[in-house]
Structure 1
Amino acid sequence: MPVPPNHPVPELADVEPAAWREANRVLLAKAIGEWCFEDMLKAVHAGDGRYRVDLDSGTTYEFRATPGAFGWLRVDPESITRTATSMLGNSVAEPAWDAQRFLLESASTLGTDASTISTYFTELSATLAVDAARITHGGETVAEMRELGHSELECRMTGHNLLVANKGRIGFSATDVRQYAPESAQSLKLRWLAVHRGLAEFRGTSELSEREIIARELDEGTRTRFTKVLTDADVDPDAYVWMLVHPWQWDHAVQMLHAADVAQKRIIPLGDSPDAYLPGQSIRTMANVGTPERYDVKLPLKILNTLVWRGIPPHCTMGAPVVTQWLRGLVARDPFLTEECRTVFLGEVASVTVRHPYLSQLADTPYQHLETLGCIWRDSVSARKDPDERARTFASLLHVDSKGDAFVAELVRSSGLAPQEWLRKMFDTLLVPIMHVLYRYGVTFNPHGQNTLIGYDENDVPTRLYLKDFVDDVCVSFTDVPERGPEPDGHDHVLPRKHPSVIRQHVVDQVFVGHFRYLAPLCADQLGVPEKTFWRLVRQTILDFQKRFPELAERFAEYDLLTPEIPRYGLNRDRLVVTRYGDRALRHALYPNGTHPNPLAEEG
């Protein structure tokens, strides 16, 4: 059944002025905290729990903050003041709430240029517009959210934790945001295309043929209707591969960049999907809400959001099914993962790759122009979960409703367990499979809040882990690991190979820095679990795993999660200072900038 719509994002004119100020106040606190965390700004302790940031512009921002894990300061949005020298020469402190003003005043201190600041200002403004709309509406309570299905709950999330401008979506208009962004929760019909085999290549796992995918995804009447479109166009239907495209992408990218192919019937539009889909937090991943047991679909969008253009590289579409096949085989031979952990790998089971016939031949073409058309079908959570099981993204634990109540606290209350007992079950559910794959196979994923889902029983107790988004996010160590067996590489590498310390960093950054850093203070505030206790429980989960598998002792040292210092990878710094907005031929690699103290290194 289609999902009842969430509150749609309103026209900006309908946003309440107080909501705009509140959205700014919260984002300003986040910007100060994250930019200090990434060492772009320096926070000076001013005594009595207060800190200040002195900017090159001559302005000072002062605030209360609570020190947290990894050297992070959790800034109190209500406490921020701004002091600037007036024309009369006296300094006046005033309550501060304007995040856009702060960005401009920080530009020189951040070490970036006017061009970057101007484009980033657009991303920041777009983020604020969505946040202010959410505050205007209020939204559901966490108790109401507990009853939502996976796809509906996805639409209530607020974006990437670490990134300040996390809903920039350059390329989307305000109307596009209201129509296609996840927070609008508007279901939509995707478009089906037929692409000539001279342009398109289908790939699937061993059990899935091209015809089986189409038979599974389209009813017989729709297949007949689409076939008639091709025969009416006087072409051979068997000469074409069928695939999905996002309606925005069809309108804004495909018909422009592939105009020659459309004009010459190498690309033929077939019609709308019979099912409705709902976008997830990544916007380009769509869940089928008309027939939930059908596949999710990952589609490219030519928009810039959270650091990169949101296309799908051809090597990803080509490699998705073979990586899925390899991972399934690895898991199937591992009774600990399959029988004890019951971990679910949501496979990317089939794909269509379409390369641009001209631009793909040009050296150093910016990648945004080469990733405009492609499709990946992925196992849906709905098809894999048990009837009474609830699956929710890891990210949902961090959600706080308009009343200030945290979703994690609501789940703990619902479970009837003591907070520390519930947290240990959650840590075991999440970390044990991730550690097992890391230590046993030298493999890691990109286990951030959207890529990892937790399955809960009828009492909201965590029971098992779901993992997704494999291609380009699954990495293997370049050391010899016999347990991996033959890997899915031919002449070209499908799996990125990295040093074990970098492999470990995926877990550290995405789980500990990118998620637990925020979850720990929520548990302290709303569950009465002190942060030191939180991190002690995480550490104990790691030590218990290591005690159970002593034969992996060398790997524990190789992929050391308890090291005293971990490299700092600054995502906001990368956008503002390192990469900026230059058009690149390849997605760039992140490089460390200093280190963080690791709270997991501390005993007791």
Structure 2
Amino acid sequence: MTTDLINDAPTPAMASSALTVDIRAVDPARDSKNIHVWLTHPRAHYWQMTHLDESGVRDYLGAVLDSADENGWVGSVDGVDCFYVETYLPSTLIPHDVVPTGPDDIGMHLLVAPPDGDGVRGLTNQIMAEVIDFCLRPIERGGRGGRRVIVEPDVRNTAILEKNRAAGFSPVSEATIMMGEERKRALVSVCDREDFEASELVALLNREDVEVVSSDDVHLASLAATPDTYSHLNPDTFAIAQRHLVAKALSEFAHERLIAPVPATGQNAGPNDWILKIEDTGPKDAGQSEDAAEFPDGGCVTYSFTARVLPLEHWVIDEVSITRRRGDTQLGLDAQELVVELQDALDIPENLMSTYLEELASTLASSAFKLAEAVKGRRPDSTDLLTSDFQSTEAAMTEGHPGFIANNGRIGFSLSDYRKWAPENGRTTRIEWVAATREHSQLSLGQGFDEAAHTDWALSAEERELFDTRIRSAGRDPEDFHLLPVHPWQADHRLAISFAADIARGDLLPLGAGLDEHQPQQSLRTFFNRTRADAPYVKVALAVQNMGFLRGLSPKYMRDTPAINDWVAELIGTDPVFGDAGFRVLRERTALGYTGDVYHRTQETNPHRKMLAALWRENPLTVLEPGQQVVTMASLLHRDHRGVAFASELIRASGRAPEDWVRSYLRAYLHPLVHALLAHDLVFMPHGENLILILDDHVVTGAFMKDIGEEVAVLGHRDLPGDVERIRALVPGEEKALSVFTDMFDGVLRHLGGILDADGVLSSEAFWILVAEVLDHYEAEHPELAHGLAGDVDLRAERFAHSCLNRLQLRNTVQMVDIGNQAESLLYAGTMRNPVAR
């Protein structure tokens, strides 16, 4: 069958194209070579045939050709073979109770060849439309004569789910489907001729004013028209976000021993099958009570899933396997409902329950938005990140904190705020500035800085001239003020309201937006300057509730921040162990805070005291060697919308053995931080956002530590300068060791080891052997420091206290810990076996 896409009347979707598409029956002898290349490409992993050689593909196609229930077809565009289609009798694959099917229904699988170079713009969308038309077109006109097309893609295949939705498919139900000896969790969906012709895909291809991005099976056409504000909140996309967050919640709640799944029993239960039964103990209205009486076990809810439990009680859950039932009734997955079902077990205070649920809602909405943008080709995948620049990688992160469930709360942001200032959108903005009288503000300067040097560093010459002009036009003298940057959200929501009196009496003079473009970082309130290559980061206050805190910045802390940074930098810079590991700090060189407001005259501290302050931090790009690349360490825990891990892609691209790659990473990350603790009683907050990794040929060779002023501590009695004394926190040796056990082992390495194990790159056992190897080497090199300066730290202890993050947020989602006394705020769940115990 040959169709000229510009003239074929039955397919209005083709009106704007001039490509000729041919679909013919598969010929195993002729087609196995091409189809083998397509099926074994990483993008085709959902076909579960990447392991086949060409002979195996030929045998597979022969079996399809000989089958009475399925047919294979090869498609070409302008004479070049570039896609493979299978049509089949749906009743042979899809359970009848999921979709009752008849002889006029037709099942369909589509595989588009990986693009050659940049590909053809819009090609995949036109192929998709042609194949659906082929399935629905009457037999006498060269089609398959289907009444409906039925598809059953893997629920994890977000790209094809979105493409199906755009083509007019409506989801019916999730179902477990056997593919040979393998099972998959599928989203069964249907589409008839009317659905297809009314679809977004047909409308898109009929438009001549739309630029179509393309070119492979994970990209969807991007509408040039104004986007639908709520388009990411469609059922298909949100269901994927829900499934992912439910999997994470089950995993992390089990890790923190808030829930206790038990092995599944029964004839069909496998060794990795688990059950979580939740008794229906929550409040019910009359209708709910009656419903519960109809079910066994009083209406309790049961979660079933497949999972492996790795060291550090790390649950690697197969998202596809999760089901939720009440009695025999299967229910949809819903992260907020899960928390409500678990409210007693999670021990969330009733007065904070709705706040936590709102943070979950925001986290889900953020995930859905990022997913929808990714399947439209608007976000880089893990392969793209191998060659992306620093800030593209920063904006590509999707997960947030790997341990916290509600990690994208951002309560206070509207949808338009989210689109402008959420770091994952990668948009730039111009920071607002306010002039603060010197009498009520303090500028703190690090070593080697005077005020003129600070001003030259923090602002461009054009900005300084602009703001001086605006101050003079207000009848004031620029010499009477310090220039303070303010987050645009903060300026809009707080400056003219919370600080109205300060503006009225002239202590604060709003100056408007600066001229430099800044990009928000993962930490939400930090900006990277995209206009001036040598400019510093700037960190500002942001009165938005996110992950257990209002994201303020304390003027009191800012006074000592440069001095603390200089002291830490001097210690790091003069110890050769750090230099040998490629470990450096990004100093916060200058800081500024305003204290003239009434909130600073109350008897006790309050969040309003932390609404007008800023610090300026060094830029890592100014000290890189030629050829080096930098990425946020959070990227090592990143999976893209296809499920592909960036860490696994880095190892593949490096050409190094996985063991060697991990050794190099641990040498740059774990080794220097262990040395800081054991040799100096110095600890940082070393989570993914706080380190920037240096890559040489995709291998980690060094690291920058940042966020020093607020998140560093000295845990011993060593001498400290007076202006550094506030970072001292005397704790016993077991608590000192938690800076490694909790912050690095549990907070970072547990997740990375799980990713590499799940991807088949490196087993978890081998991973933790490499971690132990780092400690062995350190002890061999520094035997006198193996147990720290006071001899009270044992990093090879059999067990350690299990400090839990989600328990903190669940206890108080508004303020997780007392910043001034964090150790006393921690919550524990017994002890945990040390994976590197002697």
Tell me if TM exceeds 0.5: yes
Q: 1:503 to 1:515 in 2, by over 3 A?
A: same
Matched letter for residue 343 of structure 2? A
TM, length-normalised to structure 1: 0.92
Instruction: Kindly indicate whether structure 1 or structure 2 has the higher relative contact order, using CA contacts under 8 Å at least 6 residues apart.
Output: 1
In 1: Cα distance, 2:816 partner to 2:275 partner: 36
In 2: Cα distance, 1:364 partner to 1:111 partner: 29
Are 1:219 and 2:437 matched, yes or no? no
Number of aligned residues:
582
Offset at 1:428? 0.9
Query: Match of 1:60?
Result: 302
Are 1:100 and 2:318 matched, yes or no? no
Are 1:538 and 2:789 matched, yes or no? no
Q: 1:260 to 1:283 in 2, by over 3 A?
A: same
Offset at 1:122? 0.7
In 2: Cα distance, 1:43 partner to 1:508 partner: 24
1:402-446, Cα deviation, whole Å (9 max, x unpaired): 222110111111111111111111111111211121111010100
Aligned counterpart in structure 2 of residue 77 of structure 1, from 315, 319, 342? 319
Please identify, of 489-498 and 271-280, the stretch whose mean Cα deviation from structure 2 is larger.
Answer: 489-498
Q: 1:9 to 1:289 in 2, by over 3 A?
A: farther
Q: 1:498 to 1:273 in 2, by over 3 A?
A: farther
Aligned counterpart in structure 2 of residue 129 of structure 1, from 347, 362, 365? 365
Offset at 1:378? 0.3
Segments of 5+ residues of structure 1 without an aligned counterpart are 1-6, 85-90
Offset at 1:547? 0.6
Q: Is the 8 A contact 2:502 2:596 kept in 1?
A: no
Q: 1:443 to 1:408 in 2, by over 3 A?
A: same
Are 1:234 and 2:475 matched, yes or no? yes
Q: 1:311 to 1:61 in 2, by over 3 A?
A: same
Aligned counterpart in structure 2 of residue 110 of structure 1, from 346, 354, 357? 346
In 2: Cα distance, 1:392 partner to 1:527 partner: 23
Q: Is the 8 A contact 1:80 1:96 kept in 2?
A: no
SS at match of 1:376: strand
Q: Is the 8 A contact 1:419 1:527 kept in 2?
A: no
In 2: Cα distance, 1:378 partner to 1:420 partner: 34
Q: Is the 8 A contact 1:437 1:443 kept in 2?
A: yes
Query: Match of 2:234?
Result: 16
Offset at 1:561? 2.0
1:155-205, Cα deviation, whole Å (9 max, x unpaired): 111211111011001111111111100111110000122100121100011
Query: Match of 2:709?
Result: 471
Please identify, of 533-542 and 54-63, the stretch whose mean Cα deviation from structure 2 is larger.
Answer: 54-63
Aligned counterpart in structure 1 of residue 784 of structure 2, from 548, 551, 554? 551
Please identify, of 547-556 and 197-206, the stretch whose mean Cα deviation from structure 2 is larger.
Answer: 547-556
Q: 1:10 to 1:524 in 2, by over 3 A?
A: farther
TM, length-normalised to structure 2: 0.67
Q: Is the 8 A contact 2:352 2:812 kept in 1?
A: no
Q: Give every structure 1 segment of 4 or more consecutive aligned residues whose post-TM-superposition deviation is greater than 4 Å.
A: 7-10, 582-588
Q: Is the 8 A contact 1:320 1:471 kept in 2?
A: yes
In 2: Cα distance, 1:30 partner to 1:541 partner: 29
Written as runs of structure 1 = structure 2, the 5 A alignment for 1:461-540 is: 461-478=699-716, 480-481=717-718, 486-490=719-723, 493-540=726-773
Identity %: 27
In 2: Cα distance, 1:305 partner to 1:241 partner: 29
Matched letter for residue 802 of structure 2? R
In 2: Cα distance, 1:136 partner to 1:477 partner: 46
Written as runs of structure 1 = structure 2, the 5 A alignment for 1:193-592 is: 193-338=434-579, 340-366=580-606, 368-457=607-696, 459-478=697-716, 480-481=717-718, 486-490=719-723, 493-555=726-788, 558-576=792-810, 578-581=811-814, 589=822, 590-592=825-827
Matched letter for residue 377 of structure 1? W
Offset at 1:206? 1.8
Are 1:179 and 2:420 matched, yes or no? yes
1:242-300, Cα deviation, whole Å (9 max, x unpaired): 12111111111122221111112211122322211111111001111111321001111
In 2: Cα distance, 1:145 partner to 1:553 partner: 38
Query: Match of 1:88?
Result: none
Matched letter for residue 323 of structure 2? T
SS at match of 1:568: strand
SS at match of 2:531: coil
In 2: Cα distance, 1:380 partner to 1:460 partner: 21
In 1: Cα distance, 2:704 partner to 2:817 partner: 33
Q: 1:14 to 1:25 in 2, by over 3 A?
A: closer
Offset at 1:551? 2.1
Q: 1:306 to 1:587 in 2, by over 3 A?
A: farther
Segments of 5+ residues of structure 2 without an aligned counterpart are 1-221, 281-299
SS at match of 2:429: coil
In 1: Cα distance, 2:761 partner to 2:723 partner: 53
Matched letter for residue 429 of structure 2? L
Please identify, of 38-47 and 250-259, the stretch whose mean Cα deviation from structure 2 is larger.
Answer: 38-47
Offset at 1:591? 1.9
1:344-400, Cα deviation, whole Å (9 max, x unpaired): 21001000011253112212343x221000000000111222232111121101111
Computed over aligned residues only, the root mean square deviation of the Cα atoms, in angstroms, reads 2.2
Offset at 1:93? 4.7
Are 1:597 and 2:837 matched, yes or no? no
In 2: Cα distance, 1:336 partner to 1:518 partner: 27
Offset at 1:332? 3.0
Offset at 1:216? 2.4
Offset at 1:491? 9.7
In 1: Cα distance, 2:496 partner to 2:305 partner: 50
Q: Is the 8 A contact 1:489 1:495 kept in 2?
A: no
Q: 1:356 to 1:28 in 2, by over 3 A?
A: farther
Q: Which has the larger radius of gyration?
A: 2
Offset at 1:587? 6.5
In 1: Cα distance, 2:411 partner to 2:230 partner: 17
In 1: Cα distance, 2:786 partner to 2:645 partner: 38
1:518-539, Cα deviation, whole Å (9 max, x unpaired): 1112212325311100000111
In 2: Cα distance, 1:217 partner to 1:490 partner: 24
Q: Is the 8 A contact 2:573 2:584 kept in 1?
A: no
Please identify, of 126-135 and 328-337, the stretch whose mean Cα deviation from structure 2 is larger.
Answer: 328-337
SS at match of 2:465: helix
In 1: Cα distance, 2:312 partner to 2:436 partner: 50
In 2: Cα distance, 1:134 partner to 1:271 partner: 31
Please identify, of 243-252 and 502-511, the stretch whose mean Cα deviation from structure 2 is larger.
Answer: 502-511
Q: Is the 8 A contact 1:191 1:247 kept in 2?
A: yes
In 2: Cα distance, 1:318 partner to 1:508 partner: 31
Q: Is the 8 A contact 2:507 2:596 kept in 1?
A: no
Please identify, of 132-141 and 412-421, the stretch whose mean Cα deviation from structure 2 is larger.
Answer: 132-141
Q: Is the 8 A contact 2:405 2:806 kept in 1?
A: yes
Q: 1:229 to 1:274 in 2, by over 3 A?
A: same
Offset at 1:489? 2.6
Q: Is the 8 A contact 2:549 2:816 kept in 1?
A: no
Aligned counterpart in structure 1 of residue 393 of structure 2, from 153, 177, 191? 153
Offset at 1:35? 1.2
Query: Match of 1:142?
Result: 382
In 1: Cα distance, 2:357 partner to 2:227 partner: 20
Query: Match of 1:3?
Result: none
Offset at 1:494? 4.1
In 2: Cα distance, 1:387 partner to 1:399 partner: 26
In 2: Cα distance, 1:331 partner to 1:312 partner: 25
In 2: Cα distance, 1:31 partner to 1:66 partner: 15
Matched letter for residue 254 of structure 1? L
